[in-house]
A = this chain, B = another copy of it.
Amino acid sequence: MDTEQVRRVRSFNRTVSQRIGVLKDHFLDRNRPLGEARLLYEIGRAGVEVRDLRARLELDSGYVSRLLRSLERQRLVRAQAAANDGRVRRVRLTRAGLREVRELDRRANVLARSVLAPLSVPQRDRLITAMAEIERLMRASAVQISVEAPDSADARWCLEQYFRELAGRFETGFDPAKSIPANADELTPPAGVFVVARLGGRPIGCGALKLKDRMIAEIKRMWVAADARGLGVGRRILEMLETRARDLGVSTLRLETNRTLEEAQALYRSCGYVEVEPFNDEPYAHHWFEKTRI
C-alpha cells in the first residue's frame, strides 16, 4: 500500500472532519448539549423503550436516565411505564419535542445545502457522485470476515438466507435434502471452515470450506446479502477461504454451481477458477470449477 495513498487518506480525513466540524458548530446544537440532541433524534416520532435507547447509543444507564430527566424538565419528552412490563419505561416526544427534532433536521439540511450552494451544477453532480462512491467504499472497507462455528446464530441465519435465495433463483426451486449435504461437522475444523462476513456487526455473507482429502477441498455456501453486493465481499470471502485452505496444506479447490448464479461464476472465473468436467453428481449444479496451486 503506497505512502502516497496513505497521505491522501489522512488529508481527506483532516479536510472533511474539519469542514464538517466547523459547519456543525455553526449550525447545529448551539445551546443544546450534543448528548440530548442525539437522544431526541434517536427517540424519533414513534417513541422507544429506554433500554433500546441505551443499547443503540451504547450509553451508561445512569447517564441516559439523567439526560431523559433533563429532557423531561424541558418538556421535550414524556416517559411512562411500558404496558406489558412494569420495569421498562417508554419515552416519546411531546409536541415541543417533535418540533425540536424537526428544527434539528432543518438545520442539518441547511448545513448540507451550505456545502452545495456555492458550487455550480456540474460541480454539485460530481460532488454527489464522489460522495456516493466514498460511502460505498467505506462500507466495503468496514466489512469484517471471520472464521466462526457453522451452527452459531449468525451462521445459521446466513445459511437460511442462502437456501432461501437458491430456492428463489433456481428454475427448479431448491430442496436442501436433495442436494449433497454439508452439515455443521463437515464445516468445522479440522473437517472444514466456515466464515461469516459482517458489516457493523450485522452478518451480510458467508462461505465455507469442506475438506475432501489432504489435497482437495470444496468451496460451499458462498452467499452475500443482496444489499451488500458490489462491495467485493464475495471475493474477500473466497480469498479468506483460499488462505485457510493453503494453511491446511490443500492444493486444489473445487466447487459446483447452478447456471442461474451468473455473478458467482464471474467471480470464480476472475479468481482463477477454470471450468472442469463434473466431479460429483450434485443435482442442482450445471458448472463445476477447479483451481489448482492456490
Contact = CB atoms under 8 A, between A and B. Distances in A.
How big is chain A's contact interface, by range?
Answer: 35 or more
Contact of A128 (B8, B120, B123, B236): B8
Interface stretch (A139-147, A188-196, A258-266): A139-147
Nearest to A121: B1
B140 A123 contact: yes
Nearest to A132: B8
A17 B25 CA distance: 14
Report which residue of A118, A133, A232 has the largest number of chain B beta carbons within 10 angstroms of its beta carbon: A118
Contacts of A144: 118
B12 A116 contact: no
Given A10-B112, A108-B10, A118-B143, A16 B19 contact: no
Contacts of A5: 116, 124, 128
Interface in A198-251: 232, 235-236
Contacts of A112: 6-7, 9-10, 13
A257 to B, nearest CB: 22
Interface in A105-124: 108-109, 111-113, 115-120, 123-124
A131 B9 contact: yes
A137 B119 contact: yes
B115 A9 contact: yes
A134 interface: yes
Contact of A1 (B12, B117, B143): B117
Contact of A9 (B118, B120, B126, B128): B128
A11 interface: yes
Contacts of A16: 16-17, 20, 134-135, 138
A15 interface: yes
A113 B12 CA distance: 13
A82 interface: no
A34 interface: no
A130 interface: yes
B126 A133 contact: yes
A162 B118 CA distance: 24
Given A8-B132, A9-B131, 15 more contacts: A1-B124, A5-B124, A6-B116, A9-B115, A10-B109, A10-B111, A10-B112, A11-B131, A17-B17, A17-B20, A118-B141, A119-B141, A119-B232, A123-B140, A126-B137
Interface of A: 1, 5-13, 15-17, 19-20, 108-109, 111-113, 115-120, 123-124, 126-128, 130-135, 137-144, 232, 235-236
